Amino acid sequence: MGVPVWSLDPRTGKRREEAGVEASAGEVDSAVRAAAAALPALADRSVRARLLRGAAGALERSAAEVIATADAETALGVPRLTGELARTAFQLRAFADIVDEGAFLDVIIDHPDPTAQPIPRPDLRRYKIPLGVVAVYAASNFPLAFSVPGGDTASALAAGCPVVVKAHPDHPATSALCADLLREAAVAAGLPADTVVLLHGFEAGTALVRHPLVSAAGFTGSIPGGRALYDAAAARPRPIPFYGELGSLNPVVVTQAAAAERAEQIGAGLAASFTLGTGQFCTKPGLVLAPAGADGDRLLGALTDAAKGAPAGVLLDSRMRDNFLQGAAARVALPGVTAPVGPGGGPGEVAAEGEGDGDDLSVRPGYVVVEARDLTDAERGAAYDLLLEECFGPLTVVVRYRDDAELAAVLDRLPGNLTATAHLGVREAERDGGAAAALLARLTALAGRVLVNGWPTGVAVAAAQHHGGPYPATTSTSTSVGGTAIERWLRPVAYQDTPPALLPPELRDGNPLGIPRRVDGVRE
């Protein structure tokens, strides 16, 4: 027996029942064991590739139903969800191509060398194998691309790992529909349906990360929730890797030269970026360092105009809306902080709980301003720590700095981030070395992706992509987007002096599978 799963209607904020049940401890155990039983069947790379392509096709064939279901639960809108489904299908196929190529196995062969110094070298052959069952925790703000059929699931399946997904309570019906499509694709590829298993419920999420047959976990969500699961994963009798994406400010530095050249363009671009998706992107620019003076004033003027013109948007549930409004109010209340555009209305206003143009979950974008000297004051700086925390929703913090020393002092206070952006003047961007190069080096220490003269919202699915960063952006050095995300679910093993007949095909002489390899130091 299970407890009915419920979520919050994004248009009314009221609790509603959903198909599915909150899993008991026994059901979590059964789900993980069923997934573990599917592990041997995933050993065939061609079958894995067929599953991934079949899953992409199944999503596309059911696109109308998937998008309608997701929109009813999240109110993210058909255009946004149409793009997200296309992205999800693309990354599934991209991982199928990676599986076919085989380079992710990182095969290295060193033949024996009795003359090697300082000691003779034995025959050594190394490659990577799947970890085992992977627990995936779906994200609230991406019901497709970072949830049941998303990147963590796709990369884990590509690595050869069965997946148990803990659905997010904001979109349980979408999760169930997508899980059914993936399970059908598994069967069509010749794999057990339990290659992908779905669970609902808060307690189920905790039980999942503690299950002895779970070998790794991927999470996208809040710092408190992710840290609790990370600690549980580390406290197990056999600790497991926990790849969590938790929170990020995504700082933006606007240099004096950039502000002088294009203040209005930067202000408008910032407004478009931090309000995109009602500020519910993990790469939203949440802290912007703008120069003091007339050029910085022009930037804020353009930002004010654009932010005031931005429409209200819907947050995913009433808890998130309440947290956003309370967080905005707390930031505005700090000494010396001003709100040229406050969430919910005009200058300085912060919407009261329950306000919102006939929609219980709607909010209006806004931004606050603080002087760098206040944020970095030796005695009072700690009072402004809240400004250095992510605020989920359409709010950004603008820090006005007077000189390079104040800019550096603010950067010294920042935690780890997914992204960091520099807006540079044309000449300083073209100069080899100098202040711009030093700024990029400083931002590189803070983030996993460094941008120049752009905006961080939007994460391209590409081989060179890195979506990660120093804590608390993530709990590891890996990426959750791009081809190298597969590396999270693999571990290396070396065979020494193993008879050829007992070697895995990937490690045999003659390369029968045609995999990219390095043999005796030479790439094949």
**SS3 for 453-476, per residue?**
CCCCCCCCCCCCCCCCCCCCCECC
Give the whole-angstrom CA distance, residue 45 versus residue 50. Answer: 9
At 169, the amino acid letter reads P
At 448, the amino acid letter reads G
Give the whole-angstrom CA distance, residue 210 versus residue 227. Answer: 14
The continuous run of DSSP H or E covering 352 comes out as: none
Q: Is 509 exposed, middle or buried (0-12, 13-18, 19+ CB in 10 A)?
A: exposed
Catalytic residues: 245, 282
Site of tokens 């603008």: 398
Contact 267, 243 (CB under 8 A): no
Dump strand ranges (E) for 41-181. Answer: 107-110, 124-130, 133-137, 163-166
At 38, the amino acid letter reads A
What residues contact 431, with CB distance under 8 A and at least 6 apart? 437
Among candidate residues 172, 186, 185, 166, the one with its CA nearest the CA of residue 143: 172
What residues contact 476, with CB distance under 8 A and at least 6 apart? 241, 242, 243, 244, 468, 488
Give the whole-angstrom CA distance, residue 401 versus residue 334. Answer: 18
Contacts of range 115-122, beta carbons closer than 8 Å, 24 or more positions apart = 122/496, 122/497
Query: Tokens standing for 372?
Result: 């760098």
Q: Is 449 exposed, middle or buried (0-12, 13-18, 19+ CB in 10 A)?
A: buried
Give the whole-angstrom CA distance, residue 64 versus residue 79. Answer: 12
